[in-house]
Amino acid sequence: MQVRVLLFGDEARKAGAEHVVVELRDGAVAADVRPAVERACPALAGSIDHVRVARNCAYARGDEAIGRGDELALIGLVSGG
Amino acid sequence: MSGDTTSAGRVEVRIVDGAIGAEALPAVGPGDGAVLVFEGVVRGTEDGRSIEGLVYAAYEPMAQRQLEAIATGLLDSLEITSVRVVHSRGLVPVGGVSLRCVVTAPHRRAALEAMDRLIDGLKRDVPIWKSVR
């Protein structure tokens, strides 16, 4: 399935885009998202190990199932305040 | 803008354009003995260089949700009565307020503890980013 992953901050700057579309297998889990992003966007390869995956506006556990229609995002180091 | 009333107390979270202006403090209840306000202000230098201001960007639906979750967790775990968090989006010039947190509580210690945990949580988990202008 194809899923859109939102990018912010440093990740968006490196990718030159605010989202990337990735291909995930049926039954994919949150831990599959980062490798899929690296495949889809080589500019991010090797630089997103520390980045957390959010699913539907909440941080996702690695074993959390990803479904069609989920809103996914990569959340790098935040700097609010 | 949104607010969330819980059985344990009150939560108010807002993300607003530009610098945060003056506003009335939350109403205090008869049991409140402390109103603690923290304001984050944009410094005039970043890494030793003068700046015009900071530009804040947020993944707003998640930032709102995370802030509400942090505040609700504090209300559930500490003896406090309300939490208000206001954060800026967009440009905040030097000297402007980019974050205002207000905690009310019967006693100061719980208010101070809540404020510390609130700001730590914000800086760790809330998807807001700043860049220098």
pLDDT given for residue A56 in this prediction: 97
- Average the pLDDT over B80-101 and give the result: 98
pLDDT at B104 over 60: yes
Chain B residues in contact with A73 by the CB 8 A cut-off are 59, 62, 127
Mean pLDDT, all residues of chain A: 95
Chain B residues in contact with A78 by the CB 8 A cut-off are 123-129
pLDDT category of residue B9 using cuts at 50, 70 and 90:
low
Suggest the residue from A57, A59, A71, A74 to mutate for an interface test with chain B (most B CBs closer than 10 A): A57
pLDDT at A27 over 60: yes
pLDDT at B1 over 50: no
Cα–Cα distance measured from residue A12 to residue B107, given in angstroms and rounded to the nearest whole number = 44
Q: What is the DSSP string of A7-69?
A: --HHHHHHHTSSEEEEE--TT-BGGGHHHHHHHH-GGGTTS-TTPEEEETTEEPPTT-B--TT
Mean pLDDT, all residues of chain B: 93
Residue at A76: amino acid letter: G
pLDDT at B65 over 80: yes
Q: Do B59 and A81 touch (CB under 8 A)?
A: no
Distance from CA of A18 to the nearest CA of B (A): 11
